[in-house]
Amino acid sequence: MRECQEKEEEQAQSEAKKVKLESQLFKRYEKELDRRQRDMRSRDIKRREEQYLNEIYAERAQTMSREEDEEWEERWDPIQDVYGYERGRYVELIKMFLMTNEQEHEDYCAGVEASPLDGPAAPTSSHQATGQAATGKESIIMETKEQMRRRLQTPANFERTPGQYLPGFLSSRTTTPVVPHDEIETLLDEICEIKNFLFCRLLLASSALLPIALQAGSIEELLQSEGVTREHLQDVCLKLERPSLENMRDACADFMRERDGADAPKDIAKDLALMDIIDAQQRIQIRVCGRHMYYYRNERALNRSGWFHFSIIAKDSELADAVALCRDWEELFELTILSMYRFFPAPKWTKFVGDVNRQCLLLLGFIPYSQVDGAEAKTTQHRISGRASSGRSFNFKESRNILCGIVKRDDTLNRRFLERLAMESADLRVLVHDPVTGKYVILPPKEEFWLSREKAGRGRSTKHEYTVTVEVDNAFFEQATARRAWSLNFNDYYNVYIWDAPPGRSADELQGKIQEVRKVSRYLL
């Protein structure tokens, strides 16, 4: 009995949340829907001659009898009329998200009404998108075609993290480039096609709409199908307004595959039944709304053109979000290098590459994610000689800098680099962990695992032992991983921990030594 009550409460909460999201959806795009409906009515009026309509109305009024009027009134169902009106609004919203039949006014720019479920509102301006509300890192806010066009025509400042920067290092560009008009139109057409693939991706997750989508020749035909109900359109519309980053990446991969002709498509919608496709668990292609795509997420690396389109659509995302979608190390490294040279028109993607010191490490193939420095200021030695009235005493504190990062696994250059680091025992300590096997590839002596230690007391300092306060252990590994602002979708890397051998050194010395060893290991190959 209690389980039934809990299940009913969960269903009620789910329905209430869906109704609230639906209300917020219509509220956010109410101005746009009203404008689109006014445009449709005006275009419809222009296509028809007013005189012809009046003549037809007069003829029907003369021939229609009173009995026919009463019969028509009996057949008219107001509930069905309202139902069809709501269904039409969902269709218009879907078309707006897919950028189909767009005829935007230049003076139009809708505002955003933030909701409690959206999170804190992001700062907006006159050229920003309607959905420019702060969202989580796992979804995207859709834009209309005119809003995206204005954004591409307006430069924005690249965001930077605090640190040391050199003017003109790698790239002198400080703002996103203004895309030429002819290129903007081409980009918008390609993005429109990507959104169509995204819509087809969402249909794959719907067991009710997938059979209809397999038979439909286009998205327009699907939306006009009688088997598509208002509830189906509601679910798809809510998902299409804020698609996940994973679905958007797969949609970009589908578009690139079709544009570049990477695979020869095979239409199997007529060869296998729907349940056979789902149960086969094979990597097969199907045709959804006239577009060929795979019935699984893309496991291959996305090329730079696909990531370029992804960065334009996911305007509020960061490079850390894209890193979590990378399939292998080569894709991750290419994304990082292209971001350093300001290839992507995404202002937030440059935060990942950081300052000059971090960029130098990234160019060497070492991606840092955690650093503890300040050892120079934390290392102190205070002594009081035996001639003082209080007697001989001391207070020593020593600290080391440490840098945590990842390098590519099973790479000849990286293996040589790690071996050279281990050989620099006078200056460095290095620990290498393999996440695939769970074993440590390189380990320093056990007495060298400390990062901070101290000793204090009376008498001679040589007769007292140090007390370790911070060391490289499992707790430190968990803290370093928790501080990492991004995650990886593959295991093709080594976790590398490098710290100073002598205490009290500056962080620049540690990084300079790492760069020196990296360069030497390259020449020795």
- For the cut 50, the answer to whether the pLDDT of residue 473 exceeds it is yes
Question: In 29-77, where does DSSP find H-type helix?
Answer: 30-47, 50-63, 66-75
Mean pLDDT, range 474-490, rounded to an integer? 90
Mean pLDDT, range 344-370, rounded to an integer? 89
Q: What is the dihedral of CA 289, 313, 483, 401, to 10 degrees?
A: 130
Indicate the range of 250-264, 272-286, 288-302, 455-469 predicted with least confidence.
272-286
Q: Higher-confidence residue: 159 or 125? A: 159
Per DSSP (E only), the strands in 146-235 are: none
What whole-number distance in Å separates Cα of residue 309 and Cα of residue 189?
11
For residue 427, the model assigns a pLDDT of 92
For residue 390, the model assigns a pLDDT of 65
- For the cut 70, the answer to whether the pLDDT of residue 104 exceeds it is no
For residue 204, the model assigns a pLDDT of 86
What is the C-alpha radius of gyration for the chain, rounded to an integer number of angstroms? 31
Segment 429-469, tens digit of pLDDT: 999 999 999 999 999 999 999 999 998 888 777 778 888 99
Indicate the range of 117-126, 220-229, 293-302 predicted with least confidence.
117-126
Segment 257-270, tens digit of pLDDT: 888 765 544 445 44
**Smallest Cα–Cα separation from 177: which of 148, 202, 151, 198?**
151
For residue 138, the model assigns a pLDDT of 66
CB atoms within 10 A of CB 243: 23
pTM for the structure as a whole: 0.75
DSSP per position, 468-492 = EEEESSHHHHHHHHHH-S---S---
Mean pLDDT, range 164-175, rounded to an integer? 70
Q: What Å distances lie between residue 247 and 164, 201, 211, 319, CA to CA?
A: 37, 7, 20, 17
For residue 501, the model assigns a pLDDT of 92
For residue 208, the model assigns a pLDDT of 86
Adjacency order of strands within the sheet including 467-471 = 380-384, 393-399, 450-458, 467-471
What whole-number distance in Å separates Cα of residue 476 and Cα of residue 472?
6
For residue 119, the model assigns a pLDDT of 36
- For the cut 90, the answer to whether the pLDDT of residue 400 exceeds it is yes
For residue 330, the model assigns a pLDDT of 93
- For the cut 70, the answer to whether the pLDDT of residue 235 exceeds it is yes
For residue 279, the model assigns a pLDDT of 46
For residue 117, the model assigns a pLDDT of 33
Mean pLDDT of the chain: 78
For residue 313, the model assigns a pLDDT of 92
- For the cut 70, the answer to whether the pLDDT of residue 140 exceeds it is yes
- For the cut 80, the answer to whether the pLDDT of residue 327 exceeds it is yes
Q: In which band, very low, low, confident or very high, does the pLDDT at 355 lie, cut at 50, 70 and 90? A: confident
- For the cut 90, the answer to whether the pLDDT of residue 403 exceeds it is yes
Segment 412-430, tens digit of pLDDT: 889 999 999 999 989 999 9
Segment 3-56, tens digit of pLDDT: 787 788 888 887 777 777 777 776 666 676 677 777 777 777 776 666 666 676
Indicate the range of 121-130, 458-467, 469-478 predicted with least confidence.
121-130
Mean pLDDT, range 216-223, rounded to an integer? 88
